[in-house]
Amino acid sequence: MEMKEGHLNAQDCRFGLIVSKFNEMITSRLLSSALEILKEQGTREQDIEVVRVPGAFEIPLIASQMARSRKFDALMCLGAVIRGETPHFDYISAETSRGIAQASWDTGIPIIFGVLTTDTVEQALARAGGPDKNRGAEAARSAIEMATLQKSMAKENRKPSGFQY
């Protein structure tokens, strides 16, 4: 049986992060932990681009544009949608997740969903804690693994099949 998986060496990878400004107390923690992981795993500062958007709903459009640019090996979408007293939470959460998935499917670029969807601010803060309990750090690790897996598979697909004319 052959098994394929990515690894956490990000030296030759380029990453884009799309970060919501809404709930910045939380999203800044997600971003900080994601950047920490990227740098720990060998990503150079010049190989990281951060784009700030007003809210989670705006993330998919920018993720799609960045993926279509083909400048990145993987993207991370970071945000926080916290339930309120109206159905607004349901609409924003559903459309944000659908849009991020669609952008990835349409472009073939790994786009990692790091948007917290919680009932309370306390739950969001718990998921934006230190590097061990931070969804931003988890998103960075997933992005690195997916980027390296895709690079590995692309190299494999370019190898000659052994067939000689």
Nearest to 91 by CA among 124, 120, 55, 57: 57
Nearest to 150 by CA among 45, 82, 74, 37: 74
- Record the pTM: 0.90
pLDDT level of residue 34 (50, 70, 90 thresholds): very high
Classify 49 as helix, strand or coil: strand
pLDDT level of residue 165 (50, 70, 90 thresholds): very low
User: Is 5 a domain residue?
Assistant: no
Q: Is the pLDDT of residue 155 over 70?
A: yes
Mean pLDDT across 54-66: 98
User: Is 43 a domain residue?
Assistant: yes
User: Is 105 a domain residue?
Assistant: yes
User: Is 2 a domain residue?
Assistant: no
User: Could you give the number of structural domains in the chain?
Assistant: 1
β-bridge pairing 48-53 and 74-82? unpaired
Average pLDDT, the chain: 92
Determine the Cα–Cα distance for residues 52 and 118; give it in Å rounded to an integer. 21
User: Is 110 a domain residue?
Assistant: yes
pLDDT in tens, 70-90: 999 999 999 999 998 888 899
User: Is 165 a domain residue?
Assistant: no
- Residues identified as active-site: 88
pLDDT of residue 7: 77
Nearest to 79 by CA among 69, 64, 99, 93: 93
For position 53, which CATH number holds? 3.40.50.960
Domain limits for position 63: 15-148
CA-based angle 97:103:109, to the nearest 5? 115
Residues 6+ apart with CB under 8 A from 141: 8, 37
